[in-house]
Structure 1
Amino acid sequence: MKCKLYFVLLCVFTTFMMRSQNNQTAQRFFYEHTFKTTKSATEGEKIITILDVSKDKSIYRDYTVIAQDSILEIEVEKMKKTGVFVQMEKLIKMPKFSYKIAKNYPTFETSYIDGIEKSLYGYKEKNNFDWKIIEEKAVIEGYNCQKATVTYAGRQWEAWFTLDLPFQDGPYKFKGLPGLIVKLSDLELDYQWVLKANKKIYNYNENSFSDNLYYNGNFTVNYTARPKFEKVYTEYKKDPLAAMRGQLKPEMMAQKMPGSQVTYGQMIDNQNKILKEILNSNTNPIELN
């Protein structure tokens, strides 16, 4: 887990990319996601995650930053006009997860994508969920649902799917049931998703304003084998802003941010500390093996 906005704050005076518009339409499903970052936690944290289903793929991600895109856009415009740095981390709620899960249709090949510095990295896999569909039925969040169970990544999972929404998809990497997953949890209730709402998105673009700003419009993903990806990501978590720090000359590090008494060097050190805490805070991952 990490926050891309910290990098945005450091680059906002040199790069700016507006969102592109297109005629694509997507169906957005909002899931209330409850999770425990440690096994000893007595209560889980709650956030909203989304599953965007378009013609040729689905995208699952944390909704936190996307929901604040308009606020971010306004603040960026202000900084462009005034040249005065604004500490937006005090205005914007930070996301808990920065990764995206993409499933390509109709094969459902799954891609796990995350950012390391200002580049996208990921791995692809074909997950086969050996679902056991059970006759038990219930009405959940207004949908007629049926129960299914599966063992995946070291956990036992219980899902409720509905034929009312004919998408063989669900939150995170889960897929392959006859209808959309409405509710999903592991038996220990470390992770749970519940479908709360859905709406149609017109002029849909899977890359948000903050995505465009952060990656400067470059969404090429550097795919590698999963073990290599995890090794690189583990090293990245030890010092998230190492590459950025190395790119700045000493005189730049000593220079104060526009309209602020904080130097670029202090800014980087402060954000590096926060990023390390966020990146290393979850000791109870979804996938145990």
Structure 2
Amino acid sequence: MKKLILLLFPLLFSAQTHCFVYLFEYKKDSLAQDFTKTNMILDVNPDDVKFYPYSYAQTDSLNIIRGQKRSRWDDDLPAIIRKKNSFENTSLILMNDLFSLKSTDKMNWKLLSDTKVDGQYNLQKATTSFGGRQWTAWFCKDINLSEGPYKFRGLPGLIFEIEDSKRNYIFKLAKSMKFPKTYETPFLESFIGKKPLPVTEKIIAKKQLELYNDPLHDVAEAFKSNTNPDNTFYVLGVQIKSLDQLKGMSDERRKMMLKENNPIEIDKAVRYPVN
């Protein structure tokens, strides 16, 4: 990984798009010991910045090669789009529909004198408060891009590492790539043909509560309205044969939602009713 970073960074400034891959480690349950791990992409284009799971680009590439139209969406972290050099973000959130949520996420950074070396790069430490968490970042002034993973930006250099004080969310730069032209991202423009619906924070919170109160609503409605005896319904690989079965599965889903209510912006966590 280090060799890829060292080899590619000197070439970045002649590229149309600067693409950075971050290793993302996070805890769905704040009390758990284990991390979920995945790779995320930060595309710094001439006019905008996009942040999304690496798996989206993989699926898109396979669609092109195989002539398919498969869709993939992970809901643990919203995909982000923003204008370059701006704190104006658009979050893409999938629940029963795909929603777009605009926000202004200005960050006030405190630059510290602490430094460390990562390969041939000198990193400097900075801290900020954002989303109800305290964050520590390490950035490189030699990489003249004031960007970083998720909504984190505004430092005088590229963010190499950032984590919150409780180590629930950790991003580490793993690799960089360059493209001669901007990489198209149709997977951020729609999901299974549905365009994102603009909403407010209040609507997102309302939709999350609706999902908690009736997590299998769509499956139940389809099951009740079905008139073809040959149709079968599955939830997580289990065949549904009665509405009572769905009720029990809904109870288990609610327990999981309570347990994994640890979003990156913890100050926006929904307070689910506990019976």
Q: Shorter chain as normaliser: what TM range?
A: 0.7 to 0.9
Write the mapping of 1:255-270 to structure 2, written as runs, cut at 5 A: 255-256=230-231, 263=232, 265-266=233-234, 270=238
| Distance (Å, rounded) in 1 between the aligned partners of 2:59 and 2:256 | 21
Q: Which residue does the alignment assign to 1:223?
A: 198
**Match of 1:189, SS?**
coil
User: Is the 1:184–1:192 contact (alpha carbons within 8 Å) kept by the matching residues of 2?
Assistant: yes
Q: Which residue does the alignment assign to 1:174?
A: 152
How far is 1:47 from its partner? 1.0
Which of 205, 208, 219 in structure 1 is aligned with 2:184?
205
Moved more, 238-247 or 269-278: 269-278
Write the mapping of 1:137-152 to structure 2, written as runs, cut at 5 A: 137-140=115-118, 142-152=120-130
Matched, 1:188 2:166: yes
**Letter paired with 1:35:** Y
How far is 1:157 from its partner? 0.8
Q: Which residue does the alignment assign to 1:154?
A: 132
Superposition CA RMSD, Å:
3.6
> Unaligned stretches of 5+ in structure 2?
1-14, 240-245, 268-275
Moved more, 142-151 or 272-281: 272-281
Q: Which residue does the alignment assign to 2:207?
A: 232
Q: Which residue does the alignment assign to 1:116?
A: 95
User: Is the 1:59–1:206 contact (alpha carbons within 8 Å) kept by the matching residues of 2?
Assistant: no
Q: Which residue does the alignment assign to 2:108?
A: 130
TM-score (norm 1): 0.69
Q: Deviations over 1:133-173 (max 9, x none)?
A: 11222122543211101111221110011123222111111
Which of 21, 24, 41 in structure 1 is aligned with 2:32?
41
TM-score (norm 2): 0.72
Matched, 1:284 2:275: no
| Distance (Å, rounded) in 2 between the aligned partners of 1:199 and 1:59 | 14
Aligned length: 241
How far is 1:105 from its partner? 2.5
Higher relative contact order by CA 8 Å / sep ≥ 6: 1 or 2? 1
User: Is the 1:33–1:192 contact (alpha carbons within 8 Å) kept by the matching residues of 2?
Assistant: yes
**Percent of counterpart pairs with the same letter?**
27
| Distance (Å, rounded) in 2 between the aligned partners of 1:63 and 1:187 | 26
How far is 1:178 from its partner? 1.1
**For the structure 1 residues 227 and 269, does the alpha-carbon distance in structure 2 shift closer, same or farther, using more than 3 Å as the test?**
farther
Moved more, 270-279 or 123-132: 270-279
How far is 1:131 from its partner? 0.3
**Letter paired with 2:58:** A
> Unaligned stretches of 5+ in structure 1?
1-23, 81-87, 257-262
How far is 1:285 from its partner? 2.0
